[in-house]
Structure 1
Amino acid sequence: MNKHKIYTMSFASVYPHYVTKAEKKGRLKTEVDDIIRWLTGYSQEELEVQLEKQTDFETFFEEAPQLNPARNLIKGVVCGVRVEEVKERTMQEIRYLDKLIDELAKGKKMEKILRK
């Protein structure tokens, strides 16, 4: 089975795009980091280490300390795909993150994004 190419891309290569997308809409890098930490359980220090190591997406999610159990509350469409219907686990985690960043860029309040 061939892996999707995003699995082998470094998380650090896409991370600046998440930040740029948020900042263009008046949001903050710290909010992007808050979302990533909420989803994965990484501390800020652990997140920075993953970025420095150029960890690929697959490893980034495999090594996540504690994937948030509330992530299954994330619903909706990203890139024409309904996130809750994605069957492959790693791809679903990536789509969850994409959806959360989209919500941030669309001005949603952090409490809603983090499903509090």
Structure 2
Amino acid sequence: MMIFLAALTVMSLITATIVIVIVVRMLRSRGQRFKQQKMILAEGTMAQAVIQSIHQTNAQLDDQPEVLLSLAVSEPEGNVVPAEVKTVIPIISIPAFQKGNTIEVKYMTIGGERRYEVVGAYVP
């Protein structure tokens, strides 16, 4: 019986350690995402985008809704490119984020991929 309890305790500690490692990695990844988002909004190239569709996700950040925006982005060079952006918008700004509305975005190429962020998005 004593060996069984010791084995159960060890398994519980291993499980708890794995959960802690996963949570720490998720928080670190989220922090890197916010850092990248802030960099794009500070240093990126400005463009106009027309909202093609908007869908709320099941996530929130500080009681602000996360949404998935499908956009038609008009870049300064004259190109119109499709883009999808997952972002958190201030709840007070919801009326501005409707299908057909034009919003401002900033973009930057990172790791060979064009990344877009919404100007006015909620960034903690």
Superposition TM-score, scaled by structure 2 size: 0.25
**Greater per-residue helix proportion:** 1
Superposition TM-score, scaled by structure 1 size: 0.26
Structure of larger gyration radius: 2
